[in-house]
Structure 1
Amino acid sequence: MFFEDLDMNNNTFIPADTNEFQYMGRIDFLDEKAPLFIYAGSLVKTRFTGTKVSIVIKNLNAYYDNYIGYIIDGNTEGKVKVNKHNEKIVLELADELKDGVHELTIFKRQDGCHYFNFYGLVLDKGCKVLNPEPRPKRRIECYGDSISAGELSEALDYVGKKDPEKQNGEYSNSWYSYSMITARNLKAELNNNAQGGLAVMDGTGYFMEEGYVGLESTYDKLKYNPQLGKITKWDFKRYTPHVVIMALGQNDDHPDNYINRDMEKRQLWKEKYKDIIKSLRYKYPKALFVIITTLLNHDKGWDDALDEIQRELEDKKVVRCKFKRNGCATPGHLRIPEAYEMATELTEFIESFGEDVWK
């Protein structure tokens, strides 16, 4: 349904700039009445009264089919497919709820394959929104690729296997990425700055086939996909994490896996990654930086190079975490059970640094 066709005599519209909405993630608030959701896992929370709820959005599509994720009352999970792009539309989430107060989380399931403007909610006539639970005091930030974004996490018939040959975005769910699971385990807020295909350096990886854009060009950006409009800078003053997860090094072997045979390129890659980490360390002087790769199969040479980076930085706030099945668990993307496995180990690793990490 187009928003302009909504019968306001029988519904209540709650605009996006209402105080009872709590936002999380690198979100563009240039238009406070239509905040732009960009990164995987960005979300908005609230509580509402009544028996039904719909969302009002405008979707900007680059590729794949796009879906919006939602959770109602902590136990009803779902997704709704976006059926029109570049139009202000109404998407129904639920219409037969028990009359009363309900919790709602709306989140971005996918990465920069699309952005969407969130305009607000549509409720029963006369119903309202209420404040959600207080915002977590702990804060995490993650820089990663498709694994951190939860791409293909719901392809449960392919646990430990290669990805399905046919997929068009329907299996991706950031809620079940190891990064978001870890944040929930630690009761922390998360800015999940993850993009499928991302490598450290421009000209490598798989993100943006024409020119390949790397972390060096995205880590300090708010809007970062040139297919979806002007690139904009991120204001680092808006969010200061206690823990930063650096999870690159798995797409970097494309188009050339040079890490073990070209020492000059290896050194260049290390210096680029160190420069990014040092730039972020300057912005977040108190944060703990955790350098990882994931369970996805990859050349051990990249992990060896990450070990070297950690040693060469000579910084007690920059640490390495390796998983029991690091780089050898699956030839495909992490499915939900594998993401939980990884999140459990990462949670324990971060907890080992004690409460001082969160001060």
Structure 2
Amino acid sequence: MGNLKNLFYLISFLFFAVNTSCTTQQADLKLNYSNPQIRYEGRIDTSNVEGAELYWSGTSVKINFEGESISALMSDENGTNDFNIQLDEDSTVLLQLDTVKRYYTLASGLAPGKHTLKLFKRTEWDRGTTTFYGFKIEGNAQVLPKSPAKKRKIEFYGNSITAGYAVEDTTGKDRPSGTFTNNYLSYAAITARHFDARYHCICKSGIGIMISWFPSIMSDIYDRLNPADSASQWDFSSYTPDLVVINLFQNDSWLVNRPERDEFKANFGSNAPNDEYIIQAYQSFVAGIRDQYPQASIICMLGNMDATRTDSQWPGYIEQAVFNLDDPKIYSFFMPFKETPGHPSIEEQQAMANRLIRFIDEHIEW
């Protein structure tokens, strides 16, 4: 009799365990943004009570699941941010947000079996904050365990080239609309995918190391979680990259010749910076990155716009700064001037990625 009672308890326990598993299929399933099976990538604030806040280009939200359809509950500060919906690491669809908090259908009519969905932020942080509240999965819904964390980690600091500004504007007009900007097609994101690396992208169109087309420079925002909030500090210990790529100085190369601009007057007074000042400014920024990441390899990159034209002095400034730093894990690397108008096209971004990938293969052990 005791054996029968034990068998009954065992069957009851197994039935309870199966029916309370986090992967049990349900007709519909709602997931809060804090669900541990959701994987975030990039500088994202998940500390808020209501939802996860996304700011930076290239930040992403990923879920593995089974179901017939999936939606995301989201809102956007200004209704101007765009995302890529990537289903099963294959098809990509554009998602344009508005300011209303609502569910956006991301995929429907899905076949039975495992699916992966990723939301990837195409646009820059100056378009405002996007808040992600969670997913809704319908039709035999099941949450699957998230994929293992990627072993490699990479971080980029850059300007419009790194942001993928106007990369999809095939008219040659270099239009600023978020529809044409797509960080997913930037050399930075392509390189990270090639190495299957976790990806952080700290970028802003128009930004420089000494001077920008607006008051802030990279040293003002590089250590922020929310780049628009000077009180919002990023915890560098929460993400330690194996490799850092810095692609800055393009905007500086233009603006040091614009004494009429307010930014010039605020940063330099009435006299343009001399060579020593320029080299020291770059050197100081890289040294600050090294302080945060003592073991990382750092590539000091420039290009592919006219700061690397044949007669440009700017690659030389970077070479001198790297020489002065005297660090065997800090490298200089330059993209040739693309010699076409506007920002890099899809093909030019891919060409940059190809060159950077080769350089990493040849010089970086990670």
Normalised-by-shorter TM-score class: 0.7 to 0.9
Decide which of 170, 173, 179 is 2:188's aligned counterpart. 179
3-state SS of the aligned residue for 1:331? coil
AA at the equivalent of 2:253 = D
What is the CA–CA distance in structure 2 between the aligned matches of 1:163 and 1:242, rounded to whole Å?
37
Decide which of 52, 59, 69 is 1:35's aligned counterpart. 52
- For residue 319 of structure 1, what is the aligned residue in structure 2? 331
Decide which of 299, 304, 328 is 1:295's aligned counterpart. 304
Decide which of 104, 107, 125 is 1:91's aligned counterpart. 104
Counterparts in 2 of 1:282 and 1:127: CA distance versus 1, 3 Å? same
2:82 paired with 1:72: no
Which residues of structure 1 form unaligned runs of 5+?
A: 1-8
- For residue 132 of structure 1, what is the aligned residue in structure 2? 146
Where do 1:163-312 residues align within 5 Å?
163-164=173-174, 166-201=175-210, 204-206=211-213, 209=214, 212-226=215-229, 231-257=231-257, 264-298=273-307, 300-312=312-324
Q: Contact 1:40–1:109 (CA<8 Å) still a contact in 2?
A: yes
3-state SS of the aligned residue for 1:352? helix
Shift, 1:353, TM fit:
2.4
Larger Rg computed on CA atoms: 2
Decide which of 16, 20, 38 is 1:21's aligned counterpart. 38
Shift, 1:43, TM fit:
0.7
Counterparts in 2 of 1:296 and 1:254: CA distance versus 1, 3 Å? closer
3-state SS of the aligned residue for 1:77? strand
Shift, 1:199, TM fit:
0.8
TM-score scaled by length of structure 2: 0.83
What is the CA–CA distance in structure 1 between the aligned matches of 2:124 and 2:104, rounded to whole Å?
20
The CA deviation string for residues 151-173 of structure 1, in whole angstroms up to 9 with x for no partner, is 21222x25xxx434x55211111
Segments of 4+ moved more than 6 angstroms: none
Q: Contact 2:27–2:141 (CA<8 Å) still a contact in 1?
A: no
Counterparts in 2 of 1:126 and 1:50: CA distance versus 1, 3 Å? closer
Counterparts in 2 of 1:53 and 1:329: CA distance versus 1, 3 Å? farther
- For residue 335 of structure 1, what is the aligned residue in structure 2? 345
- For residue 349 of structure 1, what is the aligned residue in structure 2? 359
What is the CA–CA distance in structure 2 between the aligned matches of 1:34 and 1:55, rounded to whole Å?
12
Question: C-alpha root-mean-square deviation of aligned residues, in Å?
Answer: 2.3
Q: Contact 2:42–2:58 (CA<8 Å) still a contact in 1?
A: yes
Shift, 1:331, TM fit:
2.2
AA at the equivalent of 1:270 = I
What is the CA–CA distance in structure 1 between the aligned matches of 2:339 and 2:290, rounded to whole Å?
31
2:119 paired with 1:102: no
The CA deviation string for residues 236-272 of structure 1, in whole angstroms up to 9 with x for no partner, is 101101110011011113443389xx77444333222
Q: Contact 2:53–2:132 (CA<8 Å) still a contact in 1?
A: yes
AA at the equivalent of 2:325 = L
Counterparts in 2 of 1:67 and 1:270: CA distance versus 1, 3 Å? same
Which residues of structure 2 form unaligned runs of 5+?
A: 1-25, 260-270
Shift, 1:220, TM fit:
1.0
Q: Contact 1:293–1:327 (CA<8 Å) still a contact in 2?
A: no
What is the CA–CA distance in structure 2 between the aligned matches of 1:109 and 1:231, rounded to whole Å?
25
The CA deviation string for residues 145-201 of structure 1, in whole angstroms up to 9 with x for no partner, is 11111121222x25xxx434x552111111111001001111211111111111112
What is the CA–CA distance in structure 1 between the aligned matches of 2:279 and 2:143, rounded to whole Å?
49
AA at the equivalent of 1:205 = S
Shift, 1:347, TM fit:
0.7
Counterparts in 2 of 1:137 and 1:10: CA distance versus 1, 3 Å? closer
Shift, 1:352, TM fit:
1.0
